[in-house]
Amino acid sequence: MLDEKNILGILEKIFREKLCDESLVLNYETTANDILEWNSLKHLVLIIAIEKQFKIKFSPLDLASMQNIGEMIKTIK
């Protein structure tokens, strides 16, 4: 099973690719408000890529409750 640090690294790679920003650095407190390119359309692209990468399916409740990257990591775990 992946630990939180490994999940963060994988998420960072996905975010860099989907948001076309190789300099992007994520931390547990990062939110959509912190990243200019993270808009509603890109959010859907990110969620689909994350679900595919981790072979999971977020529930609507999961999606509504994740307020930052740290909460996303906990949900993935």
Does the pLDDT at position 1 exceed 90?
Answer: no
What was the pLDDT predicted at 2? 86
What was the pLDDT predicted at 23? 96
Alpha-carbon gap, residue 77 to 27, rounded angstroms? 16
Alpha-carbon gap, residue 15 to 24, rounded angstroms? 8
Which residues have C-beta within 8 Å of that of residue 34, sequence separation ≥ 6? Answer: none
10-62: per-residue pLDDT in tens?
999 999 999 999 999 999 999 999 999 999 999 999 999 999 999 999 999 99
What was the pLDDT predicted at 21? 96
